[in-house]
Amino acid sequence: MSVILEYAFRSDGLVLAPALDATDVRLDLEGVTASRPTHPQLFGWVKGDLDAFDAAVAEDPTVDEVTVLSDHGDRRLYRFRTTDDVETVLYPLWVDLGGEALEAHYEGEWWRSQVRFPDRSAVSAYRDTLLDNGVEFRLEGLYDEEPSGPGVGLTPEQRETLKLAYRRGYFEVPRGTTAADLAAELGVSTQAVSERLRRGYASLVSEQVAFDEGL
């Protein structure tokens, strides 16, 4: 059975490290393409001090051909192509082990990511490879892809909305985003987001109570 690895990592040798270290932004990775595994193209939404980020990325030797694909005022979708100046390219490391990246974002000096691996031995090999390449690694979760505990009863829409709300800081104090912002990103109404979150809360709480009590 495949497993999901949730982890945090950081290193000065990673792509965009100079620009991200120099600015106060959040980057949500949208996708990765790679005709050459050691020189992938990254697509990511950036939110925060965008002017400072643009200035920093223009001087960042780890990327070139930086293109803004979409501009929503407070956030922008960029395409970056990695260069030979990247010391550690993670893409071929997890691909060679049968991994599939599910999510990745950068904020507060750390990258955080979810990767699906075929088994736990592949996870161990990936972690060891990161450490061998000087990447600081912090395990945040490791679980089978087909969970038997709480969360199974969520609908796909509820799960998607809850995950996005968590990633965007909706549950933080103060909140990092609003229900209206989530609705715009999901392409649904604010009311739909509110209903998904409320019903998702109810499902998680009821399942957790039943799970804890062994019902």
- Going residue by residue through the chain, which has 215 residues, state the pLDDT in tens, using 9 for 90 and above: 788 899 999 999 999 999 999 999 999 998 888 878 889 999 999 999 999 999 999 999 999 999 999 999 999 999 999 999 999 999 999 999 999 888 899 999 999 999 999 999 999 999 999 999 999 999 988 888 765 444 556 777 788 888 888 888 898 888 888 998 898 888 878 888 888 888 888 777 765 665 455 44
Which of 151, 150, 152, 165 has the alpha carbon at shortest distance from 195? 165
Residue 95: what are its φ and ψ, rounded to 5°? -65, -40
Look up the pTM and report it. Answer: 0.67
Query: What top-level class would CATH report for the domain 156-213?
Result: mainly alpha
Distance CA 86, CA 59 (A): 14
Distance CA 104, CA 163 (A): 12
Give me the pLDDT at residue 215, please: 40
Give me the residue spans of the domains in the chain. 3-144, 156-213
Give me the pLDDT at residue 36, please: 84
Give me the pLDDT at residue 199, please: 83
Give me the pLDDT at residue 214, please: 45
Which of 6, 166, 192 has the alpha carbon at shortest distance from 99? 6
Give me the pLDDT at residue 90, please: 93
Which of 3, 213, 215 has the alpha carbon at shortest distance from 99? 3
